[in-house]
Amino acid sequence: MNKKKQERGDFSGISQKFSKSIYDTTKGQLRVEVLKRDLAPLLATEPCLVLDVGAGLGQVNQWFQEKGFTVVHSDLSTEMIEEAERRHKAAGLGHKCKYVAASLTELVNQQPLSQYDIILCHAVLEWLPDTELAIHQLASLLKPGGKLSLMFYNYHAKLFANAIYGNFDYIERGLKVKKTVRLSPENPAVPEQVGCWLEQEGLNVQQKTGVRCFHDYLRDLTHQQRFDELLALEMKYNQMSPYRELGRYQHWLIEKPNCQEE
């Protein structure tokens, strides 16, 4: 019997490695602190219905559960979902959370189509083959007046970092690797193109933040451990141009207008 090929972005079998690689590092801690600040206005609103796409271990949607929001936690990996559910239950949460093993396409194809007041989509686009389609799908899942928290891997930052590292041949190949690395996304998004696709869907970008604007460019890696100083630096400049554009990830807060023009 043939084993089903895993989709890119399905981290079944490596959930613990994923957690350590992403969250148990200074880069992961920076991401968490930036998201906490950026999402504070949404967390302060009246509790409503939240969809977390590619929710992984559920750290971010846990903040919404703690504030009384109803959450749909979706991910490709049933293993990640089970681990997230255990974490939420250990924290006395999960009673207002629905756990769904589904891709973004499967969420959109559900009938009748559910729409959400808030959608969280963090570090997902870069694992999908068609970024434009994914943005269209997210727009269709968002209620009029709803908010989308979108974080994506920044093509410009990836190119700039590789230039600093001297990986000129890699840049010449269009940032294409010869061998796939499971935890390394291969489809970074060009922010200007993302902005165009959002505009085509009638979505308005309200706030832009760079995530890891300085951290990844430090020549002496021991300085990454000076976390409090580095965090203060990131927080001070990561919404200011040109530093914002250097963020390894971009975090955008987006709104779907209540009334679409005809």
> Is residue 260 included in any domain, yes or no?
no
Asked whether residue 166 is assigned to any structural domain, the reply reads yes
Q: Which domain holds residue 98?
A: 15-255
Q: How far apart are CA 175 and CA 220, in angstroms?
A: 24
Residue 31 lies in a domain: yes
Give, in order, the Cα–Cα distances in Å from 86 to each of 55, 94, 145. 14, 9, 33
Question: What is the tens place of the pLDDT at every residue in 136-191?
Answer: 999 999 999 999 999 999 999 999 999 999 999 999 998 887 655 556 677 899 99
Low-confidence ranges of the chain (pLDDT < 50): 1-4, 261-262
- 152 belongs to a structural domain: yes
31 is in an annotated binding site: yes
Identify the CATH number of the domain in which residue 210 sits.
Answer: 3.40.50.150
Q: At what angle do helices 59-66 and 78-90 cross, to 10 degrees?
A: 40
Residue 205: predicted pLDDT: 98
- The whole-number pLDDT of residue 185 equals 78
The two beta strands, 249-255 and 142-153, are: antiparallel
Tell me the pTM.
0.89
**Residue 205, domain member (yes or no):** yes
Write down the pLDDT at residue 179. Answer: 59
202 marked as binding residue: no
* pLDDT score recorded for residue 262: 42
Q: Is 8 marked within a binding site?
A: no
In a 13 Å sphere around the CA of 100, the CA atoms on its Cβ side amount to: 19
Q: Is 55 annotated as a binding residue?
A: yes
- 92 found inside a domain: yes
84 carries a ligand binding annotation: no
Name 74's Cβ contacts closer than 8 Å, sequence gap at least 6. 51, 52, 53, 54, 55, 99, 100, 101, 102, 107
- Tell me what pLDDT residue 175 has: 86
User: What domain count does the chain have?
Assistant: 1
Residue 1 lies in a domain: no
pLDDT digits (tens, 9 = 90+) for 39-56: 999 999 999 999 999 999
Would 34 be classed as within a structural domain? yes
What tokens does 11 get? Answer: 């981290």
